[in-house]
Amino acid sequence: MTSFDAAFQHTLAELFAWRRDVRRFRTDPVDEALLRRCLDLAAFSPSVGNSQPWRFVRVSDPERRAGVVASFERCNADAAATYEAERRDAYVRLKLAGLREAPVHLAVFCDESTEAGHGLGRATMPEMLRYSVVTAVQTFWLAARAHGLGVGWVSILEPEAVCGIIGVSCDWHLVAYLCVGFPVEEHADPELVRHGWQERLGAGGMPLIER
């Protein structure tokens, strides 16, 4: 039986607190072994029925990357147009992705056709398959930060267009598009807090509702 001591618990809390959604990357490459190490750790994530439906795709081809950037720019312009006045000014000042600079792009898919897991645990909640991929993203994110790497999750994209740009099976559903690289700067507070977009809720800790 493995137990974890107070020093580890303390540093783990630091890791949770310092994990950031990074949008400002250095352009220097990420060591291949380091990237593989973080991906291997993500494979220890929970998945429904042990289905392990996560599929990680590294997008390196310049045309494909440019296609993803173009999708982001379309969606971001559309999103900006939905805000008014000061909120719109605030939106356009935000840097919401580091797609151009990040040395590594990872598109993370859910293989909806997988037979692994034999359907266990997802008859009444079929969304569990995609949720399993999300847990792998969060595990990868924490592993990356522990090794000095920054990750940014870009969701201002057209998911079906991105599948086409990347060229994967129609059975694969895009769950996350991640920028990965070394961060230019590090902060303990989220960028959206620092720039006044959205404060942390419940400063006294996580509310627990009783039933």
Which residues inside 163-182 make contact with a copy of itself, applying CB under 8 A? Answer: 166-168, 175-176
> Which residue in 84, 85, 86, 207 binds a copy of itself (CB under 8 A)?
207
Q: Which is nearer to a copy of itself, 100 or 118 (CB)?
A: 118
Alpha-carbon distance of 70 to 57, in angstroms, equals 19
Q: Which is nearer to a copy of itself, 39 or 102 (CB)?
A: 39
The helix (run of H) or strand (run of E) holding residue 178 is: strand 172-181
First to last CA, the chain: 34
Q: Which is nearer to a copy of itself, 52 or 99 (CB)?
A: 52
CB 174 within 8 A of CB 156: no
Query: Which of the residues 90 through 109 are near a copy of itself (CB under 8 A)?
Result: 91, 94, 96, 107
String of contacts with a copy of itself for each residue 56-95, x by CB under 8 A: xxxxxx--x----------x--xx--xx---x---x--x-
Residue 204 is given by DSSP the state T
Query: Which of the residues 177 through 206 are near a copy of itself (CB under 8 A)?
Result: 186, 188, 190, 192-193, 197-202, 205-206
User: Does position 110 bind a copy of itself by CB under 8 A?
Assistant: no
* Cβ neighbour number for residue 166 with a 10 Å cutoff: 20
Residue 48 is given by DSSP the state G
| Residue 186 one-letter amino acid | E
